[in-house]
Amino acid sequence: MKKDVYDNPLIERYSSKEMLYNFSPEKKFGTWRKLWVILAECEKEMGLDIISDAQIQELKKFENDINFETAKEYEKKLRHDVMSHVHAYGEQAVNARGIIHLGATSAFVGDNTDLIQIRDGLEIIKEKMVNLIKSLKDFAHNNKDIPTLGFTHFQAAQLTTVGKRATLWLQSLLLDFEELEFRIENLRFRGVKGTTGTQASFKELFNGDFEAVRELDKMVTKKAGFNKLQGVTGQTYDRKIDSHTLELLSNIAQSAHKFTNDMRLLQHLKELEEPFEKNQIGSSAMAYKRNPMRSERISSLAKFVMSLSMNGALVYSTQWFERTLDDSADKRLSIPQAFLAVDAILIIWLNILDGIVVYPKVIEANIMKELPFMASENIIMEAVKNGQDRQEVHEIIRELSMETTKRVKLEGLSNDLIERIKKDGRIKVNPEKLDSILEPGKFTGFAAEQTEVFINEEVEPILVRYNHLIKKIDSDLKV
């Protein structure tokens, strides 16, 4: 098979069929035709008697039968994508040819279709995010009681739990989901606004009846499936919408990247591990390696999405008056590819959670390398209860800690602080009591309780609200 042209990896390797369809030519130009039918129906319903029922039926007959080759030939001659499809549609619906695109400008089909694709793309993202929230919730709940080292600056700090840490990933995702809901709820349709947004052509068609044109605008918006309408526009919808959309997608990518940072570090510590398939190869040279390739793929795609958020800002801020065309090529690239990449990120993230492995014994071993130091304050308090001077006990532990640190760092040996304290004998705490102080579960604060409350109060309401979206998502990787 000849492979002599560029393959977009978002298509070939990463994104789902549903998201690829959402930005496909079939969806795009099929939506153009649906919008032309809606416009004709609404114009007739508003009393425009130059449009007949027969013409509308003819438009509907060919609505899903796009003659792409004919449109391509017209575009070679006309150098105008919308008019090429108007002519191609007109060759099929001959009797309706004269009323296709009546009163509209190119932005009627172009911009309104963009908004429909954005809306439908956000719905696809929403479904995957709901299922991801469910997976992360389950992981957090199942591991809420497993103590683990907390880290600040990637230096060992107070203990937390595996589940509590997962709620931090969930918290970020919920913030993104809240924004997603807001964007979907407040996405406004462009509607019918005319060449520069003044509806001048529709004023002519409806003999100066402003209220009739307003009603037409609302009717078209409703038939296109939108609850809200942009009250004013230039020729195009406000490009701030693209900027907001790309910022939202960037925010989701940021949350995913943060998760993979933690995941890769934890896999290095051998505490958590992403799925590793039976025949998967980690390295071409080092046969023993189990690389976090899924997390690395997410982080790579996330960087790409985050970089695209700048495009929305650049396009919006540099528009002139009612419109310029220096947005078009950029939008054709940045909007679809940001959606495709986030779609891929969520698929991979779901794949990781579907087979993530926790290693409690390694986690416990890593805790015990540090816990004796963390327990020193508890030991001091116990010694004071037994009548010893706090400052004297503090100095003893400081001395013994320095000796232990030397053993650990210079000799590569285990942390033996507790054994040193027992052997030293100056601190009056029962040996059995010293051992009981080192139970990791005593050092996790309210981590488990916080996890439960967070799940019950903040996560479950979302899952109940969107229970109809919870299903087994195909998270198998293409490659």
Q: Give the integer Cα–Cα distance in Å for 105 and 193.
A: 8
Identified catalytic residue from 15, 101, 106, 153: 153
User: Which residue is associated with the tokens 């495709």?
Assistant: 340
Identified catalytic residue from 80, 268, 283, 300: 283
User: Which residue is associated with the tokens 């700090």?
Assistant: 157
Q: Is residue 394 flagged as an active site residue? A: no
In Å, what is the CA distance from 224 to each residue of 88, 188, 239, 247?
23, 11, 20, 25
**Sequence letter at residue 446:** F
Q: Is the CB of residue 18 less than 8 Å from the CB of residue 71?
A: no
Helices and strands of the chain, counted as H and E runs: 20, 4
Taking the alpha carbons at both ends of the chain, their separation in whole angstroms is 19
Q: Give the integer Cα–Cα distance in Å for 86 and 62.
A: 12
Q: Is the CB of residue 93 less than 8 Å from the CB of residue 61?
A: yes
DSSP state of 188: -
Q: Give the integer Cα–Cα distance in Å for 226 and 305.
A: 27
Q: Is residue 24 flagged as an active site residue? A: no
Residue 333: both structure tokens together: 């690239």
DSSP 363-401: HHHHHHHHHHHHTHHHHHHHHHHTT--HHHHHHHHHHHH
Residue 215: both structure tokens together: 């009603």
Query: So which residues are the catalytic ones?
Result: 153, 283
